Amino acid sequence: MKYQFVKVAAASPELKVADPHYNAQKIIEIIKAQAEVGTEVLVFPELSLSGYTCGDLFLQDVLIGGSLSALKTVVEATQGHTMLVFVGLPLRYQGKLYNCAAAISNGKVHGFIPKIEPLKDIYERNFAHGFIQEGYVNLWEKASAPISASMLFQDERHPEVLVSAEIGAGAPASLPTRYELSRAAIIVNLSASSEGVGKREYLRSLLAARSGRNESAYIYCEAGKGESAADAIFSGNSMIYENGTCLAESKPFSSEVCEAEIDVGFLLFERRAKALAAEHEETGHLVNFPFITDRELTIRKVDPTPFVPHEEDELHARAELILNMQAHALARRLQHTNAQTAVLGVSGGLDSTLALLVSCRAFDLIQKDRKSILAYTMPGFGTTKKTKSNALTLMEELGVTSKTVPISDTVLSHFKDIGHNLENRNVTYENAQARYRTMVLMDVANEKNGLVIGTGDLSELALGWCTYNGDHMSMYAVNSSVPKTLVKHLVQSEANRLGGNVKKVLGSILSTEISPELLPPDEAGEIVQKTEDVIGPYELHDFYLYHFLRRGDSPAKTFYLAQRAFTEAYDRATLKKWLVSFYKRFFTQQFKRNCVPDGVKIGSVSLSPRGDWNMPSDASAALWIREAESL
């Protein structure tokens, strides 16, 4: 199993009602095709061998026996294939008839799962209620198989992979909950719900909730073409969800196979984080056999920008929500502290621009004059004409109070005080400027009864790309949970909303190189100190950050996924270089994160030491760096 990914599929072939052997051949065709592409868990619909709409024909020995005979044919066809396959059939056990799912692999039936609560309608009224206790069904040629509704299937080489099964979209809520809490990261559902207006939307919400509730994958497969249309129509909906997110779905009435690759490692990471499963490990009848292979990813899409939605409408909606969250949080803090002003430095860069836009929204919310926002531009040794002009223009267009405080002379005087050589453009040369700017803002806030609004973002916090007690510090940090790759989209969204001259100047800011502007520009007055040349591309670091914090991925897994996500953008050596750099910077810079100011959390990844990321400042990065360097 490559980095704990499992390939799964759901298939609803066109069948014939009450013709098990015909249906078995259709199922076998799909099994063979899926074996060719490396599928490891394959699910067919409820009563897929007999057909779901047989009615009282289910009482006939001919159909019951024919379904069992068809199962034998399917089982024999799986010989040599380790894939775990689920098919549905009517099964007689101890004198009663059960609606069952059969779990088969490599020429053997590993278990039957009876439906707990069959519907009392024209389709299922002849079936008995399923049961939890374990029994055994006699099959053919002295073969037998266990039967229980609480069965768990475990891969013997990868014991962390457990699969459970249930039958019907309306399965009792208590049953999947028990399975999920029994460590089954993958749940399959064999269903036969008829189609109807609004049904697909209902299914999406149901499956998203079920898979997200306890961090599981959910493979749903529904009866489709070929079922009787006497009173209803069956469309063969197939959907695959992972922790609330839809990975794949089939088109209605298409009979197409729905495929996806489940990240079991992520699901287990989520469960560990929430301490799920441990107290319920005793439930479930465990069946152990090999069904997972060592295969490469083939169809799973790896998002190079996991923090940024890709659909235009979704991106706009997300941006509006985040901007509102930031603004409402700041408004609450302003009101709570009875602050008369908001004080912030505006450099003409993206982060301070976003902080200013959020501040304007917050002041509008509390119906306070924007003139009470004190925005300072503080040109220093590296400030270019473009960024200074953009900062001044933006402040004017937004109607805030604009102040310019040149800092070069004061910093030069400071260098004399501490004996620093001006020609030595080391970290002291840079940090002295950042710290003096912060001192100006803090003192103004004290003078004007205001709050210093922090501008630093999540990516800078992760990498420690901020001056300790300089731009690292503020009185409320509105951007502290916003990754750099998302900042520009928030600014662009606000530019589109505001339009006019504001949109024009924001466009200029968006096109400016990311830089702290602490080193002098070149002879042409252009930026020399380009952040991404020093610390690496932010899109890579945000990708690494997401997979490290949100998904708990190892360096090797992260690198493997990065090669897929950035296949045309970066070569292997570049990806590795910045991956090693990421771990080094993330671990060594924790001391800055342990004393960050308050700031609003806007997504699932946050580095606040108070409610989110908890790590000692002196933790060793040796394990992570050693693995990254060995790639």
Q: Please, which pLDDT band fits residue 278 given cuts at 50, 70 and 90? A: very low
- Which residue ranges form the domains of the chain, and what is each CATH number? 2-289 (3.60.110.10), 312-629 (3.40.50.620)
| 250 touches 204 (CB < 8 A) | no
Output the CA–CA distances (angstroms, integers) from residue 197 to 53, 97, 201, 322, in the order listed: 20, 32, 9, 34
pLDDT of amino acid 255: 84
Residue 171 has pLDDT above 70, yes or no: no
Q: Could you report how far apart the first and last alpha carbons of the chain are, in Å? A: 18
- Alpha carbon distance 268, 245 (integer Å): 16
Residue 283 has pLDDT above 80, yes or no: no
pLDDT of amino acid 188: 94
Residue 561 has pLDDT above 60, yes or no: yes
Q: Please, which pLDDT band fits residue 523 given cuts at 50, 70 and 90? A: confident
- Tell me the per-residue pLDDT of 32-64, one tens digit each, with 9 for 90 and over: 999 999 999 999 999 999 999 999 998 999 999
Residue 281 has pLDDT above 80, yes or no: no
pLDDT of amino acid 596: 94
Least confident of 80-94, 173-187, 466-480, 516-530: 173-187
pLDDT above 90 covers what percent of the chain? Answer: 74
- Section 414-443 average pLDDT: 95
| 280 touches 181 (CB < 8 A) | yes
Contacts of 571 (CB under 8 A, 6+ apart): none
CA dihedral 498, 502, 503, 509 (to 10 degrees): -130
DSSP annotation of 280 reads G
pLDDT of amino acid 524: 79
pLDDT of amino acid 175: 58
pLDDT of amino acid 515: 80
Q: Please, which pLDDT band fits residue 276 given cuts at 50, 70 and 90? A: low
E-strand stretches of 570-629 = none
- Mean of per-residue pLDDT scores for the chain: 92
More confident residue, 470 or 171: 470
Q: Please, which pLDDT band fits residue 516 given cuts at 50, 70 and 90? A: confident
| 128 touches 170 (CB < 8 A) | no
Structure tokens at 429: 């040369």
pLDDT of amino acid 194: 79
Q: Which of helix, strand or coil describes residue 436? A: helix
- Report residue 512 CA to chain centroid gap: 30
pLDDT of amino acid 182: 62
Contacts of 217 (CB under 8 A, 6+ apart): 6, 8, 185, 186, 187, 211, 240, 241, 242, 243, 262, 264, 267
- Tell me the per-residue pLDDT of 324-362, one tens digit each, with 9 for 90 and over: 999 999 999 999 999 999 999 999 999 999 999 999 999
- Alpha carbon distance 578, 423 (integer Å): 30
| 607 touches 596 (CB < 8 A) | yes
- Tell me the per-residue pLDDT of 222-236, one tens digit each, with 9 for 90 and over: 998 888 888 888 888
- Tell me the per-residue pLDDT of 361-376, one tens digit each, with 9 for 90 and over: 999 999 999 999 999 9
Residue 627 has pLDDT above 70, yes or no: yes
The whole model's pTM is what? Answer: 0.91
More confident residue, 51 or 527: 51
pLDDT of amino acid 562: 97
- Section 513-528 average pLDDT: 80
Q: Please, which pLDDT band fits residue 143 given cuts at 50, 70 and 90? A: confident
Residue 435 has pLDDT above 70, yes or no: yes
- Tell me the per-residue pLDDT of 541-552, one tens digit each, with 9 for 90 and over: 999 999 999 999
- Section 521-539 average pLDDT: 84
Helix, strand and coil content of the chain, in percent to the nearest 5, comes to: 40, 15, 40
pLDDT of amino acid 517: 75
